[in-house]
Amino acid sequence: MLVQVSVQSLRLDRASHTPVVILQENDGERVLPIWIGPSEAGAIASELADMKYPRPLTHDLLASIVGGLGGALQKVIISRVEESTYFAEMIIRRNGEVISVDARPSDSIAVALRLQANIFADEALLERGILEVPGEQTIGESPVSEEEPDQEMAGEQLKEYLRQLAPEDFGRFTP
């Protein structure tokens, strides 16, 4: 069964210095943390902060291509996890035809935010939820680690932190 989710926040796993997007079910408390790369975190953060750039970034370009070819992103489905890798599908409707495109969840989320498409997660993934989100948080507010829940970054601090990360700063998440 699919459950509609929304981006609850962006956080930082302080152990691996890896950005984590937290999806929360729309009608409940369960969350789905997905460890993502810095560029995808930046793409999500910039859209959440309504930042516009003079030239289209990759996710903006993909959104333009979908629309330019007469398609519409109907929804994104975070479908499964295999060996610590999450899988997603972008469901695009074009001329009455439904096209399912395999994609990374982080890219799918970034495009869905730009096109205001719904995001869904398989119920089984929410059942595995391994992270408790303490209290209410504003979207784009901060990366918060489980060990240090009082340390938060404002949206601009998060963006600057993500800009300065190097590939070697990232580890691999294993559930």
What confidence tens digit (pLDDT) does each residue in 32-66 have?
A: 999 999 999 999 999 999 888 899 889 999 999 99
Q: How far apart are CA 30 and CA 60, in angstroms?
A: 29
Categorize the per-residue pLDDT at 150 as very low, low, confident or very high, splitting at 50, 70 and 90.
very low
- The percentage of the chain sitting over the pLDDT mark of 90, rounded to a whole number, equals 59
pLDDT band at 143 (very low <50, low <70, confident <90, very high): very low
Residue 81 covered by a domain: yes
The tokens of 75 are what?
């929804």
* Domain-embedded: residue 21: yes
The enclosing H or E element of 9 equals: strand 2-13
Quick one: how many helices (H) and strands (E) in the chain? 5, 7
What does the mean pLDDT of the chain come to? 81
- Domain total for the chain? 1
The DSSP letter of residue 98 is E
Residue 52: the pLDDT is 86
- Give domain status of residue 66, yes or no: yes
Tell me, what CATH number does 7's domain have? 3.10.690.10
pLDDT at 159: 59
Question: Is 50 exceeded by the pLDDT of residue 151?
Answer: no
Q: Which of 46, 48, 44 is nearest to 20 (CA)?
A: 44
- DSSP annotation of 146 reads S
pLDDT digit string (tens) for 156-171? 666 566 566 555 444 4
The answer to the question of residue 30 being in a domain is yes
Rounded CA-CA distance 10/161 in Å is: 12
d(CA 171, CA 115): 30
Q: How far is CA 27 from CA 6, 21, 88, in A?
A: 10, 18, 21
What is the value of pTM for the model shown? 0.74
Q: Residue 174 domain-assigned?
A: no
The domain of 42 spans 2-169
